[in-house]
């Protein structure tokens, strides 16, 4: 077998180097005003999405356009498929355009894609494809059981698989909370990152049933696309108030007070006391209730109820009992009725006066009418003349005038 001489081998290598350099540098040789210079645009896509790469030239000299991948493998040469990858499909092929679409984009699809037109020399253009790693749904840890009020709770939120690293945000309701700076860790043998964030809260009873949210902020996601929620449970001592059976406790009647405690958990024990005095002998305690079989003025005073649920100190409520005298209440009620009766009598008197005035007015106007109607009949010599004068009036007046003349 004959081997080429050293000079010819060097010549071939040199020629290939020149041709490659010419192809790579063609963009610098031919500027934007070159009608045969291909043009492309950089693209960004998310994992699982799709991206369309378009290469165009202003004019065609019947040379074919070609797309190559990041490994310089030909994907399409004109309309002809070169690489058997069903994710890559031809979108459009004309003498001045070659467009391809990559579906179900993967992280390995990121890189520099090359569009070439095989003129002499070869002209090329590059498009950088950036693939975004979509972060996973965040997971919240660090809270399992209810905690007493005043305690500190530390929650940790973690999201995996983002590229570039995602940002984590904390919310309580609609209010954003400030957590510690995110901790970013790269994934071995992967171009993605795991991100975690911590939030520490000092809880109070108002935080019971509060909704804490961790949301992922990333350019591959719409706002609020991925979030997780944690409901806080806070243990706190009861708040207490005392509700009476009625607002007007009367002497001699049955009566009770009810102690209402609100806490987490609900109160399990109740204690009743009378402030600055002895407990009434006829009063009976039944859990949250204090019963009075027959109220007496001696029962007056301030009553205290203590409610406990095992969390912190007992809650305290107060109620001032003031027993009413039924006789005084009846007198007061009778006085009220008397006042009401007096007002009604005045109104009736005024109406009667108005009716009398109105009646007299109507009668007076009716008499005036009758008097005017009878004018002219006083001086009539006979009945016929009186009737005529009463009916017409004017003719009678004229006759009377002629008579005196």
In a domain, 2, yes or no: no
pLDDT value, residue 352: 85
Instruction: Assess contact for 68 and 127: CB atoms under 8 A.
Output: no
CA dihedral 375, 381, 384, 390 (to 10 degrees): -10
Residue ranges of the chain with per-residue pLDDT less than 70: 1-32, 328-338, 365-405
User: What is the side-by-side strand order in the sheet with 139-141?
Assistant: 139-141, 152-162, 193-202, 183-186
- Contacts of 145 by beta carbon, 8 Å cutoff, 6+ apart: 233
Instruction: Assess contact for 235 and 308: CB atoms under 8 A.
Output: no
pLDDT value, residue 254: 94
The pTM is what? 0.66
pLDDT value, residue 360: 79
- Identify whether residues 122 and 152 lie together within a single domain: no
- Identify whether residues 241 and 319 lie together within a single domain: yes
Distance CA 280, CA 298 (A): 8
Beta bridge partners, 235, equal 148
pLDDT value, residue 367: 52
Tokens matching residue 19: 């041709």
- Identify whether residues 113 and 162 lie together within a single domain: no
Give the total residue count for the chain: 405
- Identify whether residues 92 and 22 lie together within a single domain: yes
- Identify whether residues 251 and 279 lie together within a single domain: yes
CATH number reported for the structural domain that contains residue 258 in this entry = 2.60.40.10
In a domain, 250, yes or no: yes
Please identify which residue in the block is written with the tokens 């945000």.
169
- Identify whether residues 74 and 153 lie together within a single domain: no
Distance CA 184, CA 195 (A): 5
Indicate the burial class of 266 (C-beta count within 10 angstroms; 0-12, 13-18, 19 or more). exposed
Q: Which helix (H) or strand (E) holds 326?
A: helix 326-374
- Tally the domains of the chain: 3
Instruction: Assess contact for 126 and 113: CB atoms under 8 A.
Output: yes
pLDDT value, residue 32: 59
User: What is the side-by-side strand order in the sheet with 301-308?
Assistant: 269-275, 301-308, 315-321
In a domain, 3, yes or no: no
In a domain, 366, yes or no: no
- Identify whether residues 177 and 107 lie together within a single domain: no
- Identify whether residues 157 and 216 lie together within a single domain: yes
Domain final residue, candidates 324, 346, 361 = 324
pLDDT value, residue 334: 53
Domain final residue, candidates 104, 132, 160 = 132
Beta bridge partners, 237, equal none
- Identify whether residues 121 and 160 lie together within a single domain: no
- Identify whether residues 247 and 181 lie together within a single domain: no
In a domain, 59, yes or no: yes
For residue 159, the enclosing domain spans: 139-232
Distance CA 272, CA 259 (A): 9
Phi–psi pair at 35, nearest 5 degrees: -65, -15
pLDDT value, residue 405: 37
Domain final residue, candidates 324, 347, 381 = 324
pLDDT value, residue 327: 79
- Identify whether residues 54 and 153 lie together within a single domain: no
In a domain, 361, yes or no: no
In a domain, 174, yes or no: yes
In a domain, 370, yes or no: no
- Identify whether residues 126 and 160 lie together within a single domain: no
Indicate the burial class of 172 (C-beta count within 10 angstroms; 0-12, 13-18, 19 or more). middle
């Amino acid at each position: 077998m004959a081997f080429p001489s050293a000079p010819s081998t060097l010549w071939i290598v040199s020629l290939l180097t020149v041709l490659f350099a010419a192809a790579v540098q063609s963009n610098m040789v031919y500027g934007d005003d070159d009608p045969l210079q291909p043009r492309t645009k950089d693209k960004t896509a998310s994992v699982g999405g799709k991206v369309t790469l378009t290469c165009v030239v202003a004019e065609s000299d019947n040379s074919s356009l070609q797309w190559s991948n990041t490994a310089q493998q030909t994907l399409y040469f004109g309309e002809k498929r070169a690489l058997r990858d069903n994710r890559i499909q031809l979108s459009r092929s004309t003498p001045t355009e070659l467009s391809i679409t990559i579906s179900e984009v993967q992280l390995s699809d990121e890189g520099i894609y090359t569009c070439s037109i095989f003129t002499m020399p070869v002209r090329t253009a590059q498009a950088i494809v950036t693939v975004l790693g979509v972060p996973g749904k965040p997971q919240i840890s660090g809270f399992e059981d209810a905690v007493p009020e005043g305690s500190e709770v530390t929650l940790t939120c973690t999201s995996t698989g983002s590229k570039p690293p995602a940002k984590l945000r904390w919310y309580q309701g609609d209010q954003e909370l400030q957590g510690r700076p995110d901790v970013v860790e790269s994934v071995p043998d992967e171009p993605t990152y795991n991100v975690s964030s911590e939030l520490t809260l000092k809880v109070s009873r108002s935080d019971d049933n509060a909704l804490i949210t961790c949301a992922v902020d990333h350019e591959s996601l719409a706002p609020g696309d991925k979030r997780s929620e944690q409901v806080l449970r806070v243990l706190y001592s009861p708040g207490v108030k005392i509700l009476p059976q009625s607002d007007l406790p009367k002497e001699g009647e049955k009566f009770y007070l009810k102690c209402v405690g609100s806490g987490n958990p609900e109160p399990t024990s109740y204690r009743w006391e009378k402030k600055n005095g002895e407990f009434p002998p006829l009063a009976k305690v039944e859990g949250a209730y204090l019963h009075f079989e027959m109220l007496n003025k001696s029962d007056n005073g301030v009553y205290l109820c203590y409610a406990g649920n095992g969390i912190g100190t007992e809650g305290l409520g107060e109620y001032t009992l003031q027993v009413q005298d039924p006789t005084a209440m009846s007198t007061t009620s009778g006085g009220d009725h008397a006042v009401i009766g007096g007002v009604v009598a005045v109104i009736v008197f005024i109406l009667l006066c108005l009716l009398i005035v109105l009646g007299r007015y109507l009668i007076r106007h009716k008499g005036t009418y009758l008097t005017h109607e009878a004018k002219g009949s006083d001086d009539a010599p006979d009945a016929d003349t009186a009737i005529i004068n009463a009916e017409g009036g004017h003719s009678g007046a004229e006759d009377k005038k002629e008579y005196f003349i």
